[in-house]
A and B are shown apart, each in its own frame.
Chain A
Amino acid sequence: MSMHTSDQSQHTVAQGNVASAQAVAQTSKGTPRTGKRVINRQKEKTPMAEQNPATRTGNFREVGLGYTLEQARHEASRCLQCKNAPCVGGCPVGVNIPRFLKLLAEGSPIDAYLSVKETNALPAICGRVCPQETQCEGVCRRGRAGEPVAIGRLERFVADWGAAHRAQVVARRKELAQSDTRADEVTDSICEGNTDTLHSRNACRDLSSCRVALVGSGPASLTCAGELARAGVQATVFEALHTAGGVLSYGIPEFRLPKDLVAREISYIKDQGVTFEFNAVVGKLYDVDELLGSMGFDAIFIGTGAGVPRYLGIPGEGLNGVSVANELLERVNLMKAYRFPDYATPVYAGSHCVVVGGGNVAMDAARTARRLGSDVTVVYRRGREEMPARDEEIRHAEQEGITFDLLNNPTRAIDDGNGWISELECIRMELGEPDASGRRRPQPIAGSEHRMPCDMLISAIGSRINPLVPQTVAGLEVTDRGAIVADEQTGATSVPGVYAGGDDVSGAATVILAMGAGKRSAHAIIDYLSRG
């Protein structure tokens, strides 16, 4: 047994190992494709090892440690290989999940990796930060009686495996290109139901003289650029900051998404021929008109996200020690302030840190503050059920000793007499009738004001769309809240040749939805370019 964690599923895991061992035996007998598959009937997901909470709150290293090959094959063999594959429909970029799980279960992690890469440019990232529970895993047949297949963990596994075995990946890719039997089989099945990819390939010879500018280097642009490059288009990404990745670099913490891994995924996109220009603030340094005019780009994709913070709007918000999650996260993630003073950017998280909000950003901020040594309380105006954060993030935060003070809402930040916050006044809330979002509306309970110690208040109550780029594009239609108006299927905006996708269209959402939008836009841009 190589399980790292004790878990109630130890017994079934052991049984499952026998099953996967049988599968190995079959493949080694030379019947890799046609042999009867043995399905691992284990009801629970194979546990993935994690750094224990006491250790990990003292470092910024990744919490999840990943599967071993043995664990991964074992878990992959839980897949039923459903003919209609609901999981694929649940994936915003349409990864052929049964296919890669089958290859993995059969002991071909390199092929599994290549299979995933066909549809997903950033699998190591998606495997870690996608809300699989509401997507692929949410519709997995195995979830009807027990837990779904751990698709996210397996995607992460194959991505990490591929990265750790680059030479094999390169060799295998070459081999596949030379169309041996197995290669045809792999590519054929990959291309089934994925005509977009085929289309891109056919068109690519004509597109090599086309140039597309992508604004921002977050998940939407990266995906779009990768797809365009695969179709032969010259893609140039303009990034305002000094590093690529957008929210993957400045927002999501190291302990959830290591930055060297983000850099690695982006390096693969660079390998495809995508070029990056940093410190390039579109809207200031270059205008969109200029990109389409004198700079000679044929189309533009705007993926600038929703990075502008919202404020609580309570008295005392101007005190020292009051900030927003983005500031803390940028200091720590983008500027590596957790390594101060080796890195010059300092960070302060107080000794009693209160994070306001119930989303993933709130969890990221809380867990970051915890690692900086603060006692952290999350204050959220609704209940646990209504928290938008992923269950896994909430569970991790709880394990790390973060206190949740729910149905509670800040009303005033209190001055210590020297202009710093010393206490936070809050009011208890109760849930009333459901609001437009379908969640029960929180209402204050009169007279329930109370105070809690707080020398750092961090709000994580959502973000707005950054107006910097949209406001500089003549004729670009935006909504009342500043979102770019774009066709849901194509990302086409009111300006011909200008496409947009991700949070700057949808408002704050997820990495994978942005990737899906980037991908759809890439195909629409290819169509647009093909039409000449």
Chain B
Amino acid sequence: MYPIKDVVDLNDEVVRMVVEAPAISKKVKPGQFIMLRIDEQGERIPLTVNDANPEQGTITLVFQKVGATTRQMGMMTAGQSIRDVAGPLGKPTDFSGAHHVCVIGGGLGTAIAYPQAKWLHDHHIPVDVITGFRTEDLIILADEVSQVCDTSIVMTDDGSNGHKGLVTAALQERIDAGAAYDLVVAVGPLIMMKFVAKTTAPYHIKTLVSMNPLMIDGTGMCGGCRVRVGDHYLHACIDGPDFDGHQVDFDEAMRRSTQYRSFERQAEDHRCRLLDQLETVGEGR
């Protein structure tokens, strides 16, 4: 059992959860993820680790309430426990040789971009962070991010924060302004990562993207997380989750990510019904 120490809503959709996992907290590096299972009936889902505190033996997870499991997690509170947390999985982000890095986070991806920027900042490697959100109300971790980078740019699709546009526009602007990035790390929706990779390709800037495909075991066995990279398939769980953004077949990855979508709704409805029943029982008492 992995006790939940703290739960904070970052906005209506995104939750930050601190979980006690001492061994993982000592080992996890930026870019790595964990697999969790809420309870005996739960599914295993991968979540990239946002932060870790080895002294307190905790890891921080930031997730969006989009599926049956994450919605249920969103209702959990400090004092409750998560049945299983396995990790750290995947390879840490490879920053080797980087002298000037741009880290890009889209929406929830900001939570994963954060530890990367933090690591770079801690290691005195110049790092800019560009984050993008649909609207100002959805902006998360702005203060945290601004403390671990040289320049922080926050974009919104609707311009509600005064910076209208996509992260790719901001990236292009930085490149045009002469920022000599030798590494771009993008974490966010597949479509965003695809266009970040397209933006950097003409400049031959090494671009790492963090893939988050379907996964069952997270240890290389199920093949669900295979991503076409160049001419072959690699497993996000053991070969990734970071891959060369100029080699990833994003269109295939986007299509494959929808495979179980219809089931997700069904699972969610089922869990909601169960919770309704529980609440009804509770009220009855």
Residues of A within 8 A of B (CB): 240-242, 250, 278-281, 284-286, 307-309, 311, 317-321, 323-324, 326-327, 330-331, 334-336, 340-346, 348, 419, 466-468
- Tell me whether A345 and B219 are in contact (CB under 8 A): no
Q: Which of B44, B238, B249, B271 contacts A318 (CB 8 A)?
A: B249
User: Are A278 and B84 interface neighbours, CB within 8 A?
Assistant: yes
Q: How far is the CA of A202 from the CA of B213 in the complex (A)?
A: 53
The 8 A-B residue pairs whose C-beta atoms are closest, nearest first, are: A346-B263, A341-B270, A279-B86, A307-B221, A324-B223, A344-B43, A345-B43, A242-B84
Within the complex, the shortest CB–CB distance from B137 to chain A, in Å, comes to 30
CA of A284 to CA of B88, assembled, Å: 6
**A285 and B24 contact, Cβ closer than 8 Å, known pairs A318-B252, A344-B271:** yes
B86, A241: Cβ atoms under 8 Å? yes
Interface flag for B16 (CB, 8 Å): no
Residues of B within 8 A of A468 (CB): 219-220, 238
Chain B residues near A286: list those with CB within 8 A.
Answer: 23
Question: Which residues of B are found within 8 Å of A280, using beta-carbon distances?
Answer: 23, 86
CA distance A148 to B42 in the complex (A): 45
Q: Can you list, as one digit per residue, whether each of B210-233 has a CB less than 8 Å from chain A (1) or not (0)? A: 000000110111111010100001
Q: Are A340 and B216 closer than 8 Å at their CB atoms?
A: no
Instruction: State whether A240 touches B86 (Cβ < 8 A).
Output: yes
B252 (CB) vs chain A CBs: closest residue: A318
A-B contact count (CB 8 A): 125
CA–CA, A284 and B24, complex, Å: 9
A284 near B37 with CB under 8 A, answer: no
B45 closest partner in A (C-beta): A344
Q: Which of A250, A279, A321, A467 touches B84 (beta carbons < 8 Å)?
A: A279
Does B204 sit within 8 A of A, measured CB to CB? no
Looking at B46-54, B105-113, B158-166, B253-261, the stretch in contact with chain A turns out to be B253-261
Let me know if B267 is at the binding interface, CB within 8 A: yes
Cβ of B83 within 8 Å of any chain A Cβ, yes or no, is yes
- Residues on A with C-beta less than 8 A from B42 are 344
The yes or no answer to B89 lying at the interface (CB within 8 A) is yes
Contact: B256 with A318, CB < 8 Å? yes
Q: Is the CB of A330 within 8 A of B255?
A: no
Contact A344 B88 (CB under 8 A): no
B window 69-94: CB within 8 A of A: 69, 83-89
Query: CB < 8 Å: which of B89, B224, B259 contacts A281?
Result: B89
Nearest CB on A from B179, distance (A)? 35
Q: Are A281 and B86 in contact (CB under 8 A)?
A: yes
Contact yes or no, A335 B89, CB < 8 A: no
Assess the B27–A285 pair: CB atoms within 8 A: yes
**Smallest CB–CB gap between B124 and chain A, Å?**
27
Q: Are A334 and B259 in contact (CB under 8 A)?
A: no
Q: With A242-B86, A311-B223, A348-B260 given, can you name 19 additional A-B contacts, CB distance below 8 Å?
A: A250-B217, A279-B84, A280-B23, A281-B219, A307-B220, A308-B221, A320-B259, A324-B223, A341-B267, A341-B271, A344-B68, A344-B69, A345-B216, A346-B260, A346-B264, A346-B266, A346-B267, A466-B238, A467-B238
Which of A278, A284, A319 lies at the interface centre, i.e. has the most chain B CB atoms within 10 A of its CB?
A: A284
Question: CA A324 – CA B83 in complex, angstroms?
Answer: 28
Output the least CB separation between A378 and chain B (Å): 19
- Inter-subunit contact A285/B88 (CB<8 Å): yes
Contact with A along B265-278 (1 / 0, CB 8 A): 01101110000000
Asked if B96 is at the interface of the complex by the 8 Å CB criterion, the answer is no
Asked if A241 and B263 make an inter-chain contact with CB atoms under 8 angstroms apart, the answer reads no
Which residues of chain A are near B224, meaning CB under 8 Å?
323, 327
Instruction: Give the residues in chain B near A323, CB-CB below 8 Å.
Output: 223-224
Q: How far is the CB of A467 from the nearest CB of chain B, in Å?
A: 7
Contacts of A466 in B (CB 8 A): 219-221, 238
Chain A, residue nearest B2 (CB): A279
Task: Show 17 residue pairs from A and B whose CB-CB distance is below 8 angstroms, ordered by the A residue.
Answer: A240-B217, A241-B86, A280-B86, A285-B88, A307-B220, A307-B221, A308-B221, A308-B238, A334-B217, A340-B263, A341-B270, A341-B271, A344-B42, A346-B267, A348-B260, A466-B220, A467-B238
Asked if B280 is an interface residue, CB under 8 A from chain A, the answer is no
A320 touches B255 (CB 8 A): yes
How distant is A304 from chain B, measured CB to nearest CB, in Å? Answer: 9
Q: Which B residues are CB-close (under 8 A) to A331?
A: 216, 222
Pair A309/B221 contact, Cβ less than 8 Å:
yes
Are A327 and B89 in touch, CB under 8 angstroms? Answer: no
Task: Contact check, A308 vs B27: say whether CB atoms are below 8 A apart.
Answer: no
